[in-house]
Amino acid sequence: MKIRIIKGTNQIGGTITEITSSKGTKILIDFGKDLDTDVTDIPKIDWKEYHAVFITHNHEDHIGLINNIPDDVLVYVEETSLEVYQVFLDFTSKLPLSRKINTFKINEEIKINDDIIVKSYITDHSAFNALMFLIECDDKKVLHTGDFRTNGYKGKLVEQVIKEIKSVDVVVMEGTTLSRNNLKNRLEKNLVKDIYDKTKKYDKVLILQSSTNIDRVVSMYKAMKKSKKIFIEDIFTANITTLLSKKGYTIPNPKTFYDVYSFVPMNRSEYRKDHKTDFYYQYIEPFKKDAHLVMTKEKFGILVKQSMLKDIKLYYNKGYLKNTCLIYSMWEGYKEKEDTNRFLKEIENLGIDIITCHTSGHSDEAARKMVLKELTYRYLIPIHTEQKEKFEKYKHHYILNDGEELEIR
């Protein structure tokens, strides 16, 4: 077995890991865009050598380039993760999926060419149904952690998974937060109290967070409910939470929760009744529980997007946003992006207080140590990090540069 990191030993996001069997079967783990760039840098891959690509989760820096994979190479994505990604593509006006995707269920084993077996395990991350992969071939085992943490609502499952796997030859591990000054993650469940404490004195709460961070949606709902505010999801988030509800997950959504409403921005033509497109009928028309009237009478917390600035200003000018704050619940680095920075300055100009309340979706030191303590392993390869040299403090580290490989005998 050989392991090569095509991309990811010197960057966060856009990582690609290659695994090759002694018979020449080759697979890739993840094929996503570089993080925080509008330039589509497609890696030069000789696709004639490859048989399959497996995606750990539906964040763009892990899945965003799959349309560039030739049709004769199999692509595997967990079924619910793919459905959420499809909603994301439709709402963000990105190119639709143009190739066939093979879906699978969590814990399912997939065999490629009878000599590589890939099994998925649920992990804890800020993407719904994010996965770790256990890859077996040539009597060797590799654990690819994908992006993970242990401080979310699925945190305890990670330790259970690691104890089940017990022993591998190689761990390929993300190290995103190693560049963030010894970050210690707060527990997601404790974030609820933090949000409540910081927002209870406000009548209206605007919430800026990722729609695909379902743990955070749940936390925000719990905090708003505790302060007796109705909870409003923008129409993008409402479609994702309703999708998950239909699949049997108990997620706050406007279809089955009495105190959750949906908000349709008024300045988007494709969201209006007079534009009866397929998009309108699929994503807008089914949501009758609209929040506009309720927002003029009730205390509320509402998930907002930067594209909703005109709506926010309209409600402000009509006097409906008195005693209001905005909760910023994303990575601090996004504040440096021009569009985010401009949006936050506009909010400040309205006299709305901005409060940061966040916890990372990536492993901290405690999470990494737990995995490495519970596992028996021979090699530890860092990826998804800007400071791979910090992995030297862990036993059996084997630090690669992009393009280098390790042969396991």
Q: Domain coordinates of the chain in residue numbers?
A: 2-181+361-407, 188-356
Query: What is the per-residue pLDDT for 117?
Result: 98
Is pTM beyond 0.75 here? yes
CATH match for 2-181+361-407 among 3.60.15.10, 1.20.1070.10, 3.10.450.50, 3.40.50.10800: 3.60.15.10
Pairing of strands 204-208, 324-328: parallel
Phi/psi at 216 (nearest 5 deg)?
-70, -35
**Residue pLDDT, tens place only, 24-44:** 999 999 999 998 666 567 888
Residue 40 confidence (pLDDT): 65
Q: What is the pLDDT of residue 397?
A: 97
The span from the CA of 173 to the CA of 145, in Å, is 5
Beta strands in 217-299 (DSSP E): 230-234, 260-263
| pLDDT value of residue 289 | 80
Low-confidence ranges of the chain (pLDDT < 50): none
Per-residue pLDDT, 275: 66
What gap in Å lies between CA 332 and CA 337, rounded to an integer? 10
Cβ pair 381, 372 in contact under 8 A: no
| pLDDT at 291 (0 to 100) | 87
Which residues sit opposite 143 in a β-bridge? 134, 171
Domain 188-356 has CATH 3.40.50.10710: yes
DSSP sequence for 42-101: -----GGG--EEE-S-SSHHHHTTGGGS-TTSEEEEEHHHHHHHHHHHHHTTPPPP-S--
Share of the chain above pLDDT 90, in %: 86
The reply to whether 188-356 shares the fold of 2-181+361-407 is no
Quick one: which of 342, 338, 298 has its CA closest to 321?
298
Give Cα separations from 192 to 211, 234, 256 (angstroms). 17, 20, 22
What pLDDT, on a 0 to 100 scale, did the predictor assign at position 36?
65
